[in-house]
Amino acid sequence: PKGATFETQIGEGGELHQIASGEGAVLTTQQGIPIADDQNSLKVGDRGPTLLEDFHFREKIFHFDHERIPERVVHARGYGAHGTFTLTESLEEFTSAGILTEVGEQTPMFLRFSTVAGNKGSADLARDVRGFAVKFYTKEGNWDVVGNNIPVFFIQDAIKFPDLIHAAKQEPDRGFPQAQTAHDNFWDFISLTPESMHMVMWIMSDRTIPRGFRFVEGFGVHTFRLVNAEGKGTYVKFHFKPKLGLQSVAWNEAVKINGADPDFHRRDLWDAIDQGNFPEWDMGVQLFDDEFADNFEFDVLDATKVIPEEQIPVRIIGSFKLDRLVDNFFAETEQVAFCTQNIVPGIGFTNDPLLQGRNFSYLDTQLKRLGSTNFTHIPINAPKIPVNNYQQDGHMAMHARKGRANYEPNSWAGTPRESPSKGYKHFPSQETGRKAQVRSATFADHYSQARQFFISQTEIEQKHIGDALTFELSKVERVDIRELMVGHLLNIDEKLAKTVATGLGFKAMPPKAKAAVEPRTDLPA
Ligand code: HEM
């Protein structure tokens, strides 16, 4: 850098003056007052005390003292970039959403990758699910697909989420582990949560130690609904496929990389975009109707199940490219607020009980994390179209409506009004039933798809799953937890259960875990 100078001068009274100067804009306080000296606080005499009168010193320290905001309660460690989505195939038959119907339309977007369990300062190569959260700034408002790099989830009902996360993150007494799943609390919870077994197969696979963010898939996980101009609904699952292909590292590589460079994934993404190697993903959809949903082996509202691509192929409808780095990590990557309920006309929800809980959780946590109902005014969160409503005031209000009307209906000229033709309409599904704390019997099978996933893997991939389970469970101190886990594996694949039992040094095979319904063996690999 040119033009920076640093000098120490001795003043008339023998005191020292540090002077850091040079070319460039003049430093100012937050009030815009030019600063003459940023090295020395205002003192009485050369040796102090420091004076309260030094408003610049106090403002500088005050601002520093408040730099931290709460990290995300999950997915705290993340890394984001800007990009553009281009639609290549219109889904007009199924949805009225402009982003999915106007071929050639370029929609700006922001993607944040993350780990789930680790704290903000944890390492990139932890064995963990990767978040894949996309914000599309569409002409009809912001649409967020808040997904992961795995197409299923640990639990079926959002009421279990706080327990899952408590069990996965550091234990409350010891404050560790900060990033790894290998500990008693996590496996204790999992061993008592049979619905997580399908996800367990995926997290023990190499998908949870990706080579970089550029090499992960993304999934919307839940079944959503598309709604066309006539109001007809079609079920949809969202997929993102990296053009560089799905790539992972091996466990021993992950451990070494974590030690040598805990920022390996974020550095890789930064360097690639900085050098013009813009990573790209195809976007695809699985579309199906009520008839398919009614006849499918599992419940399409159950987030622990996939719809095999052999049954409903993924239809590629467009692609996106990440081609712009953030200007400021905090302003953009930290302050971005994704929410499953950010949805545009032509796209809707289903009754998936995990999705229903998420729709409440994100907005609620973001009020705490970002500190004000006006976090939608932060540029990374603001839609790139005009926002018109009569919500007003609150902490940090950045845009205020001009004029007299702050209510509606009103009869003042030129004020915003609702639009029955263009506005968001909820899909009018028929709902009936008694009120009760229950789960549908169609959610009862927890092992069949776990087995289907495991047997669909190649031999080496199966070995990695066995190795990962053995390694993880070997870190669990309580033998009864290890045994119960092997009991679950017996419902998935006997050979896998034996491999893990042998690896853990078991003398006898523990009993099979009780299954609510008999696992199926007739599903193809
Ligand atoms: C954050 C995905 C389930 C609550 C996130 C993020 C992702 C994600 C990707 C990070 C967003 C970012 O980068 O800023 C998922 C997926 C789920 C799931 C794919 C299941 C299919 C849930 C459930 C709840 C929940 C069931 C609660 C009921 C949260 C919260 C945050 C979060 C509170 C922090 C948000 C913030 O502070 O900005 N989730 N999540 N998630 N998730 Fe989930």
Protein residue with its CA nearest to atom 23 in ligand 1: 358
Contact yes or no for 388/310 (Cβ under 8 A): no
Mean pLDDT of the chain, nearest integer: 96
Dump the DSSP string for 138-154: ETTEEEEEEEESSSS-S
Task: Find the Cα–Cα–Cα–Cα dihedral 253, 257, 262, 263, rounded to 10°.
Answer: -100
Around ligand 1, the residues with Cβ closer than 6 Å are 72-75, 78, 112, 114, 131, 133, 146-148, 153, 158, 161, 221, 303, 336-338, 354, 357-358, 361-362, 365-366, 369
Residue 21 — pLDDT band, cuts 50, 70, 90? confident
Distance 354 CA to ligand 1 centre (A): 11
| CA–CA–CA angle 395, 399, 400 (5° rounding) | 90
The verdict on whether 75 is a catalytic residue reads yes
Q: Give this prediction's pTM.
A: 0.96
Query: What 3-state class would DSSP assign to 300?
Result: coil
From 358, 359, 365, mutation site for ligand 1 pocket: most ligand atoms within 8 A of C-beta: 358
- Tens of pLDDT, residue by residue over 406-415, are 999 999 999 9
Active-site residue among 148, 185, 342, 374?
148
**516 pLDDT above the threshold of 80:** yes
Tokens in use for 273?
Answer: 């975009």
* 20-29, 143-152, 312-321, 385-394: segment of lowest average pLDDT: 20-29
Other CB atoms within 10 Å distance of the CB of residue 164? 21
- 374 contacts 253 by C-beta, under 8 angstroms: no
Check if 148 is active-site: yes
Question: Which residue, among 257, 255, 193, has the nearest Cα to 467 in the 3D structure?
Answer: 255
- 325-367: pLDDT as tens digits: 999 999 999 999 999 999 999 999 999 999 999 999 999 999 9
pLDDT of residue 182: 79
CA 74 to centroid of ligand 1, rounded, Å: 7
**Cβ count within 10 A of residue 11:** 9
Expressed in angstroms and rounded, the spacing between residue 423 Cα and the centre of ligand 1 is 27
- Token output for 3: 């033009």
- Greatest Cα pair distance, the chain, in angstroms, is 92
Angstrom distance (rounded) from CA 493 to CA 197: 12
Task: State whether residue 318 is helix, strand or coil.
Answer: strand
Q: Whose CA is nearest to atom 25 of ligand 1?
A: 358
Q: Which atom of ligand 1 is closest in space to residue 369's alpha carbon?
A: 37
For residue 253, pLDDT over 80 is answered with yes
Q: How confident is the model at residue 173 (pLDDT cuts 50, 70, 90)?
A: very high
Question: pLDDT value at position 1?
Answer: 57
Compute, in angstroms, the gap from residue 75 CA to the centroid of ligand 1.
7
User: ipTM above 0.90?
Assistant: yes
What residues pair up with 132 in beta bridges, in sequence order? Answer: 113, 147
- Which is the closest atom of ligand 1 to the Cα of 147? 19
pLDDT digits (tens, 9 = 90+) for 468-504: 999 999 999 999 999 999 999 999 999 999 999 999 9
pLDDT digits (tens, 9 = 90+) for 100-135: 999 999 999 999 999 999 999 999 999 999 999 999
Q: For residue 203, how far is its CA from the centre of ligand 1 (angstroms)?
A: 17
